[in-house]
Amino acid sequence: MTGAPWTLADAGRQDGRLAVVTGANSGIGVEISRALVRLGATVILACRNLAAAQEVQADLPSGTTESVQLDLADLASVRRCAEDLRARYRRIDLLINNAGVMAPVRTETIDGFESDFGVNFLGHFALTGLLQDRTDRIVMVSSLTHRRGRIDFDDLQSRKKFRGAQAYADSKLAQLLFMDEFNRRHDARCVAAHPGSARTAILRDQGWQRLAYHPRLRFSTSWFVQDADAGALPIVRAATDPDAAAGDFYGPGGRLQTTGAPVKVEPVAGARDPVVAGRLWDVAESLTGVRF
């Protein structure tokens, strides 16, 4: 029906397609993987915790998934994962950069980057660059919080001042800047999506927001928080919509984009700034040693 809310039934079949989903062992990542398997795709669960990934595999039909180790907090692991994927597969139809962290206190990756910036942005930047020539469509999983993000080139690593929520928002803004710059520089097919306000481990671990996460309070919080399977739908639509164009951004279509069926949305104006995006790209290449 014209104008009806988009559901998984509206997604085209993905038979014969290969999707790599980072952070596929929990939360949104599990639901993205489950949805793609239902659509017929083969899904590679790219996860730091292989045991958890294998538990997800056991819950999905045999032969529909595989696992590969990926620790986005370690650039050496990112390179090993990319090498493994390149050795196994000549083509990757979908690369869904979903994994993320929101550190409550400042921590650093193996390579000395602030964890949110290092995992959410730099790790995915490196992985995408290393798989660029094998990949058809890339999906960056951002967040509503990108709206309050800022790119402070004098303190990208939050050494002068750290606030967990701000560092997370900054990394999610960086992902959207990456998307546009990637498309500009390389005529890529990179899109983005955000899950709205979804009940995931990231939400669960953030102070008072644990109340919104608690399943017993689902009835009273459902007007602004949705379950992970609903939060996964904008990402699945970004991955499968045949009409998606480079730079498109999907999110829930309900109140304040917190809940609802997936639609095309717009990021904040700063996420489209080509000057900031170009400078951030150059910094990311320098920090990761990965050149596209």
| Residue with tokens 């997800």, as numbered in its chain | 56
pTM equals 0.93
Q: What is the CATH number of the domain that holds 190?
A: 3.40.50.720
Specify if 90 maps to a domain.
yes
At residue 210, the pLDDT reads: 54
Angstrom distance (rounded) from CA 143 to CA 137: 19
Specify if 258 maps to a domain.
yes
Contact 239, 36 (CB under 8 A): yes
At residue 217, the pLDDT reads: 58
Nearest to 78 by CA among 115, 22, 114, 127: 127
At residue 225, the pLDDT reads: 82
Specify if 213 maps to a domain.
yes
Q: For residue 267, what are the domain limits?
A: 13-288
Specify if 40 maps to a domain.
yes
At residue 3, the pLDDT reads: 75
Specify if 120 maps to a domain.
yes
At residue 201, the pLDDT reads: 65
At residue 211, the pLDDT reads: 55
At residue 202, the pLDDT reads: 57
Specify if 3 maps to a domain.
no
Specify if 108 maps to a domain.
yes
Specify if 7 maps to a domain.
no
In the chain, which ranges are continuous DSSP H helix? 27-38, 50-58, 75-88, 115, 124-131, 164-186, 201-204, 210-213, 218-221, 228-240, 274-288
Active-site residues, by number, are: 168
Low-confidence ranges of the chain (pLDDT < 70): 1-2, 199-224
At residue 1, the pLDDT reads: 40
pLDDT tens-digit map of 115-160 = 999 999 999 999 999 999 999 999 999 999 999 999 999 999 999 9
Angstrom distance (rounded) from CA 158 to CA 169: 12
User: What is the number of structural domains in the chain?
Assistant: 1
At residue 208, the pLDDT reads: 44
At residue 223, the pLDDT reads: 46
